[in-house]
Amino acid sequence: MFEQCPKRLWLSVHRRELAEHDDGAEARFATGHEVGAIACTLLPNGVMVEAEPDLAAALVTTRALLDNGLAQPIFEATLQHDGVLVRIDVLEPDGAGGWHMAEVKSSTKAKDYHVGDLATQLWVARNAGVPISSAAIRHVDSSFVLERDGDYDGLFADTDLMAQAEPIVAGRGDAVAAARATLAGAEPDTAPGAHCDAPFPCEFAGYCHAALPAGPEWPVSVLPHGGGKRWIEQGIVDLLAVDPAALSNAVHARVHRATVSGEVYHDVEGARAAMAGWAFPRTWLDFETIGFAVPRRIGTRPYQQVPFQFSAHVETADGGIMHREFLSLDGSDPRRACAEALVEMVPPTGAVIGYNASFEKGRILELAAAFPDLADALTAMAARVVDLLPVTRANWYHRDQRGSWSIKAVLPTIAAEMDYASLEVKDGGSAQEAYAEAIVAGCTPERRLALDTALRAYCGRDTEAMIVLARRLQLHDDVCGGEI
Ligand code: SF4
């Protein structure tokens, strides 16, 4: 934390109450806990150092294990040096009198910021007299496939970062002294900048940014795909100050023009032409999925997106609409039932339309690969998938989208009544949380029913919104309509 920002460290110790609530913290903690527990089960002869009754006891226990010449893995080995206490996820005997150190992470690869964490542990361990011969990040191996229930042998891979950590270890003493001096002093006067988001979004951003003068209403950062970077480098932060003649990218020019003029860019003929070939019956399709770091379903990989819900609005050429849906909240593997429901509910002909549809197509093809008896129907369905997102991007822009064509950014500008504010489940993240809550054994039938209702309302809104969006894209602005 000190290395990301001295002020963040200071605030986290002296002004903790200024931190913003982190919605995802609980889920991340639960994932980390699950991953850590699995890593321990893979070393069945390991010894856990409990933090009970307190960390002082953990220090004593660790020291006793090391001094007694233990030749087994140690979990949460607790060591201290110069007032810095660390708990090392895994220490494994290296067979030559030393120890291999591993920090367990739920990510699928080692990241740059892991090196600093590892260096601190290395510095403490060495100064506490523990000979460390290698140090690694033990991360989830994304190529792992669960083949038997509960068999996670192979779930992790070690990336050795000893060589990268070594140069940092030498300076750790100075860094600790600097951190201590920071904590003993007044609140640091650190200006917000790029470091506020990397490697982690800072929980004090609201506090720090409130002290800054207000920025322009339309910053250059609304130019999509990092288009604002070159202007910021030239000291231009206001999009209204950008010379339009210097915008060679057509999308940037369009965003600039719509922002400066306040006029919507809308190419009705372009939208009509793009959708003219989408055969009826049209199926407007949206999946909700969940990906667990520790795969739970046979045949799945870590973080593989498993569909547990879909909504399909089927539209006929005469404008008729029929809604169909699937949702599995009983905690079983939802894939077979989902695949069967798709084959049953999605017509065998006509376009299948998604928004950012490569996601829908990918899920359908994964189901086809998992269930050979349904593969022909599902593969044919995937071949009929078309995408409303590029059509929208090419033919509509309202400056309130602020450079985004996500459906949540577009809808308020073209179909404001399709808002999500009144829904209990409002986005993909909260849909995953609802699903995770509903499938645990302790969820009451009443709560599960409430979650079921909320999930159906959300996913159904997504596909309904796509139809309204598509219809409005094809109507001139002075024509009312597009309702379904
Ligand atoms: S918001 Fe930025 S400047 Fe403020 S404490 Fe966090 S990282 Fe430091």
Give the domain CATH number at 322.
3.30.420.10
Cα 232 to ligand 1 centre (Å): 20
Q: Domain end: 154, 182, 210, which one?
A: 182
Residue with CA nearest ligand 1 atom 7 = 196
Q: Domain end: 136, 153, 182, which one?
A: 182
Quick one: 429 and 350 in the same domain? yes
Residue 79 has pLDDT above 90, yes or no: yes
Instruction: Kindly list the strands in the beta sheet with 99-104, ordered across the sheet, starting from the edge strand earlier in the chain.
Output: 47-48, 74-81, 84-93, 99-104, 132-140, 156-160
Q: Give the max Cα distance, the chain.
A: 83
Cα 198 to ligand 1 centre (Å): 10
Quick one: 150 and 299 in the same domain? no
Cα 171 to ligand 1 centre (Å): 23
Domain coverage including residue 259 = 220-263
| Ligand 1 pocket, mutate which of 14, 197, 204 (most atoms under 8 A from CB) | 204
Q: Could you read off the pLDDT of 193-238 as tens digits, one per residue?
A: 889 988 889 999 999 988 787 888 999 999 998 898 889 888 999 9
Ligand 1 atom closest to residue 195's alpha carbon, by position in its atom list:
7
Cα 205 to ligand 1 centre (Å): 6
Neighbours of 277 (CB within 10 A): 8
CA 78, CA 331: separation in Å to the nearest integer? 38
| Ligand 1 pocket, mutate which of 190, 197, 212 (most atoms under 8 A from CB) | 190
Which residue type is seen at 364? Answer: I
Element (H, E) at 397: strand 396-397
Q: Look at phi and psi of residue 195 and say left if phi exceeds 0, alpha if psi is from -120 to 50, else beta.
A: alpha
- Mean pLDDT throughout 297-321? 95
Helices 112-127, 162-169: crossing angle, 10 deg rounding: 60
CA 6, CA 1: separation in Å to the nearest integer? 7
Ligand 1 atom closest to residue 192's alpha carbon, by position in its atom list:
3
Domain total of the chain: 3
Quick one: 259 and 271 in the same domain? no
Q: Domain end: 228, 263, 298, which one?
A: 263
| Ligand 1 pocket, mutate which of 7, 11, 189 (most atoms under 8 A from CB) | 7
Quick one: 51 and 170 in the same domain? yes
- Mean pLDDT throughout 358-387? 98
Q: Could you tell me the pLDDT band of residue 122, with boundaries at 50, 70 and 90?
A: very high
Question: What proportion of the chain, given as a percentage, has pLDDT over 70?
Answer: 99
CA 375, CA 398: separation in Å to the nearest integer? 41
Question: What pLDDT is attached to residue 478?
Answer: 61
Does some domain include residue 207? no
Ligand 1 atom closest to residue 208's alpha carbon, by position in its atom list:
4
Quick one: 301 and 405 in the same domain? yes
Rounded to the nearest integer, the mean pLDDT of the chain is 94
Question: By mean pLDDT, which of 245-254, 312-321, 474-483 is the weakest?
Answer: 474-483
Q: Could you tell me the pLDDT band of residue 418, with boundaries at 50, 70 and 90?
A: confident
Quick one: 232 and 316 in the same domain? no
Residue with CA nearest ligand 1 atom 5 = 8
Cα 178 to ligand 1 centre (Å): 17
Neighbours of 376 (CB within 10 A): 11
Cα 174 to ligand 1 centre (Å): 22
Residue 90 Cβ inside 6 Å of ligand 1? The answer reads: no
Does some domain include residue 214? no
Quick one: 377 and 243 in the same domain? no
Q: Which long-range contacts (CB under 8 A, 24 or more apart) does 209-217 make?
A: 216/240
Does some domain include residue 341? yes
Residue 12 Cβ inside 6 Å of ligand 1? The answer reads: no
Q: Could you read off the pLDDT of 12-65 as tens digits, one per residue?
A: 999 999 999 887 788 888 899 999 999 999 999 999 999 988 999 999 999 999
- Mean pLDDT throughout 355-381? 97
Residue 77 Cβ inside 6 Å of ligand 1? The answer reads: no
Question: What pLDDT is attached to residue 482?
Answer: 55
- Mean pLDDT throughout 455-475? 96
The residue written with tokens 């460290």 in the block is: 9
